[in-house]
């Protein structure tokens, strides 16, 4: 019984850590060995074996070295100025390789007839020596960390979309990314310290679940626990029954994992019609004149002022923007026109608070606790407060994969939810109502990646409305669309100012858009208004 329980907990832990690693870093080939946890834990266990320590101390050293390895990885990653995910991944590869070299050196120096065999067998993974005391150590950790993952599942979905998308929804990207990495690390280190290295479980199980359910952590988390536990129980049963002596668990999971992974890859790349490169013309949107109001809170005053704004990316570069000043009133439709490279995207990111000005200010009229309207620097607001005033829709959707449209829209409401809350029935009704208003209800259960360019833009508009912000910023929303879809998107955005009482800021390099009725044209050239 202890063996079966630990095998199940191991499958759950490794599957969940693999899933959230893959979702967080948007890389389906990442597993729990990403940050060198297994290698570090192996060193701790090897040291305990060399000095002839008891099983308790071997487990303690293994767990401690696994945690220290991750802390070293994060420390190296923070040294670099570039804070994106690739830096953390590369740091993990560096530290993991270093720890593997140390482990190899230890194996070379120990007694080959006694200690070496013990270390090698431990590294190959086994459930043979587990006890009820091990369960008392593992079970509370797995239970608590798994519960936290279930509570923050919506935020894991959001973090998977990247820093800009996350922070414009009012969620602290760095905080939650580090929390997710810490949870995955603790889950992995806990299991490795008890059972040794068990390969492939954290890589294969998330793939199986995503094939069946698509990319949505809310749904994949519970199924990963079931599939992970089942996978390791089957592997453990095979390790005990295929030969007279017990086969190391990693040998079994390696064979099963490689076969399953090959089948998954073969099916994925031989499917037809996974993506649509063609741009379809969507039916014109018809706003009902006396349609039922979708509940939106409009307690934020939509008024924003840009004052003497300058920006450059570093001290050596030239200024991208020069002395930009602009006042935007409620219900304005600002069309920011300029050629590629004129500074449009940079200006929009400064307005949204994604970038900070080199000089100057972006001020927004903010209602304080006494309900008095005061001007506040956008960068002085918390991410949550900022998300209630400004919604930012970027130009590309390259890293939004096979999440369902319905699930993508729900992410727009995260700023109204506490980290442990799920959307209410009323909020889910809003998703349906907005989707109907924008004529995208038929796409709700389709994968986002299967939509055409125009359809994706309409979904993004719908999500920005669900975010409940007063100012909606769109960066080149028509850049990759044909003329019919361009006209559709522009007309849809124009109606938002009156239908939903929104302020729109839109950038474009298309000359034809300068004729849009009811908009204020601001022409940007070489970083300045003309």
Residue 491 counted as domain residue: yes
Listing DSSP states for 195-258 in one string gives: H----SHHHHHHHHHHHHH-S-HHHHHHHHHHHHHHHHHHHHHHHHHSSSSPPPHHHHHHHHHH
Select the more confidently predicted residue: 245 or 431. 431
| Beta bridge partner(s), residue 363 | 305, 377
Q: How confident is the model at residue 287 (pLDDT cuts 50, 70, 90)?
A: very low
Which range, of 201-215, 293-307, 373-387, averages the lowest pLDDT?
293-307
d(CA 454, CA 25): 27
Mean pLDDT score of the chain, rounded to an integer?
83
d(CA 22, CA 160): 9
pLDDT above 70 (res 282)? no
Q: How confident is the model at residue 275 (pLDDT cuts 50, 70, 90)?
A: very low
Q: Are residues 259 and 333 in the same domain?
A: no
What does the pLDDT average to over 204-233?
A: 90
Q: Are residues 246 and 147 in the same domain?
A: yes
Residue in the structure block whose two tokens are 């509370």: 140
Residue 193 counted as domain residue: yes
Q: Are residues 345 and 455 in the same domain?
A: yes
What is the number of other CB atoms lying within 10 angstroms of the CB of residue 294? 17
Complete edge-to-edge strand list for the sheet that includes strand 390-393: 390-393, 471-475, 503-508, 333-337, 520-525, 528-529
d(CA 525, CA 341): 9
d(CA 176, CA 155): 8
At 164 the pLDDT is 85
d(CA 32, CA 118): 23
At 224 the pLDDT is 93
Q: Are residues 242 and 311 in the same domain?
A: no
Structure confidence by residue, pLDDT tens digits, 73-82? 878 887 876 6
At 196 the pLDDT is 83
The helix (H) or strand (E) run that includes residue 402 is none
Tell me what percent of the chain is helix, strand and coil, each rounded to the nearest 5: 55, 10, 35
Residue 365 counted as domain residue: yes
Instruction: Count Cα atoms within 13 angstroms, Cβ side, for 361.
Output: 13
Q: Are residues 318 and 218 in the same domain?
A: no
Q: Are residues 64 and 123 in the same domain?
A: yes
Tell me if 319 sits within 8 A of 311, measured CB to CB.
yes
What does the pLDDT average to over 357-376?
A: 77
Residue numbers of the domain that contains 262: 2-269
Q: Are residues 263 and 308 in the same domain?
A: no
At 189 the pLDDT is 84
Q: Are residues 387 and 324 in the same domain?
A: yes
pLDDT above 70 (res 36)? yes
At 110 the pLDDT is 85
pLDDT above 90 (res 6)? yes
Q: Are residues 332 and 422 in the same domain?
A: yes
Q: Are residues 310 and 413 in the same domain?
A: yes
Return the SS3 of 518. coil
Q: How confident is the model at residue 8 (pLDDT cuts 50, 70, 90)?
A: very high
At 228 the pLDDT is 93
CATH code, domain carrying 451: 3.40.50.300
pLDDT above 70 (res 212)? yes
At 370 the pLDDT is 53
Residue 212 counted as domain residue: yes
At 82 the pLDDT is 62
Residue 287 counted as domain residue: no
Q: Are residues 426 and 320 in the same domain?
A: yes
Tell me if 91 sits within 8 A of 36, measured CB to CB.
no
Q: Are residues 235 and 336 in the same domain?
A: no
From 243, 269, 295, give the residue that closes a domain.
269
Residue 199 counted as domain residue: yes
Which range, of 96-110, 260-274, 433-447, averages the lowest pLDDT?
260-274
Euclidean distance between the first and the last CA atom of the chain, given in angstroms as a whole number: 76
Residue 480 counted as domain residue: yes
d(CA 276, CA 11): 36
The helix (H) or strand (E) run that includes residue 149 is helix 132-151
Structure confidence by residue, pLDDT tens digits, 465-483? 999 888 999 998 888 788 8
- For residue 32, what is the DSSP state? T
Note every long-range contact of 92-100, with CB atoms under 8 Å and residues 24 or more positions apart, other chains counting. Answer: 92/34, 92/35, 92/36, 95/35, 95/36, 95/39, 95/40, 95/69, 96/33, 96/34, 96/35, 96/36, 96/38, 96/39, 96/69, 98/36, 99/36, 99/39, 99/40, 99/42, 99/43, 99/69, 100/39
Say if residue 351 is exposed, middle or buried (CB neighbours under 10 Å; 0-12, 13-18, 19+): buried
Residue 288 counted as domain residue: no
pLDDT above 90 (res 96)? no
Q: How far is CA 424 from CA 57, 162, 282, 428, 492, in A?
A: 48, 25, 30, 6, 27
Instruction: Report the candidate in 311, 306, 356 with the shortest Cα–Cα distance to residue 332.
Output: 306
pLDDT above 80 (res 266)? no
Structure confidence by residue, pLDDT tens digits, 140-186? 999 999 999 999 998 999 888 888 889 989 899 989 988 998 898 88
At 302 the pLDDT is 46
Which range, of 283-287, 316-320, 322-326, 397-401, averages the lowest pLDDT?
283-287
CATH code, domain carrying 121: 1.10.3470.10
State the pairing for strand pair 471-475/503-508: parallel
What is the number of other CB atoms lying within 10 angstroms of the CB of residue 425? 7
What does the pLDDT average to over 506-515?
A: 83
From 269, 294, 312, give the residue that closes a domain.
269
* Tally of structural domains, the chain: 2
pLDDT above 80 (res 270)? no
């Amino acid at each position: 019984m202890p063996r079966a329980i630990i095998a199940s907990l191991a499958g759950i832990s490794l599957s969940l850590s693999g899933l959230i690693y893959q979702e967080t870093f948007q890389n389906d080939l990442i597993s729990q060995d990403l940050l060198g946890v297994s290698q570090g834990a192996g060193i701790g266990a090897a040291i305990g074996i060399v000095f002839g320590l008891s099983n308790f101390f071997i487990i303690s050293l293994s767990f401690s070295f696994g945690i220290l390895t991750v802390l070293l990885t994060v420390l190296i990653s923070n040294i670099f100025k570039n804070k994106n995910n690739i830096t953390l991944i590369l740091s993990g590869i560096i530290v993991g390789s270093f720890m593997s070299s140390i482990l190899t050196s230890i194996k070379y120096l120990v007694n080959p007839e006694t200690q070496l065999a013990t270390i090698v067998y431990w590294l190959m993974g086994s459930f043979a020596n587990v006890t009820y005391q091990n369960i008392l150590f593992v079970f509370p950790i797995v239970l608590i960390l798994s519960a936290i993952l279930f509570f923050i599942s919506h935020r894991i979905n959001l973090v998977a979309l990247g820093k800009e998308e996350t922070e414009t929804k009012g969620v602290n990207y760095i905080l939650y990314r580090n929390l997710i990495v810490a949870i995955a690390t603790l889950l992995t280190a806990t299991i490795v310290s008890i059972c040794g290295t068990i390969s492939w479980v954290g890589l294969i199980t998330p793939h199986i679940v995503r094939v069946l359910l698509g990319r949505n952590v809310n749904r994949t988390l519970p199924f990963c626990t079931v599939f992970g536990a089942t996978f390791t129980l089957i592997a453990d049963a095979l390790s005990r029954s295929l030969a007279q002596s017990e086969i190391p668990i990693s040998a079994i999971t390696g064979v099963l994992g490689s076969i399953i992974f090959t089948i998954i890859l073969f099916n994925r790349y031989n499917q037809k019609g996974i993506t649509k490169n063609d741009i379809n013309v969507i039916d014109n949107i018809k706003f009902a004149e006396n349609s039922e109001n979708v509940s939106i809170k409009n307690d934020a005053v939509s008024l924003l002022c840009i004052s003497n704004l300058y920006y450059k990316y570093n001290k050596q570069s030239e200024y991208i923007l020069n002395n930009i000043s602009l006042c935007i009133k409620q219900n304005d439709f600002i069309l920011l026109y300029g050629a590629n490279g004129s500074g449009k995207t940079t200006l929009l990111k400064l307005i949204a608070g994604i970038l900070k000005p080199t000089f100057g200010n972006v001020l927004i009229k903010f209602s304080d606790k006494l309900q008095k309207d005061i001007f506040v620097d956008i960068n002085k607001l918390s991410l949550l407060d900022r998300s209630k005033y400004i919604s930012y829709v970027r130009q590309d959707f390259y890293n939004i994969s096979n999440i369902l449209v319905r699930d993508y829209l729900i992410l727009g409401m995260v700023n109204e939810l506490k980290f442990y809350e799920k959307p209410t029935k009323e909020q889910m009704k809003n998703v349906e109502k907005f989707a109907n208003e924008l004529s995208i209800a038929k796409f709700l259960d389709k994968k986002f990646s299967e939509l055409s360019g125009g359809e994706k833009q309409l979904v993004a508009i719908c999500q920005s409305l669900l975010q409940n912000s007063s100012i909606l910023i769109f960066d080149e929303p028509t850049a990759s669309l044909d003329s019919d879809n361009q006209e559709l998107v522009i007309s849809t955005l124009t109606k938002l100012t009156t239908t939903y009482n929104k302020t729109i800021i839109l950038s474009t390099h298309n000359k034809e858009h300068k004729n849009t009725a009811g908009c204020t044209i601001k022409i940007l050239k070489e970083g300045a208004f003309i």
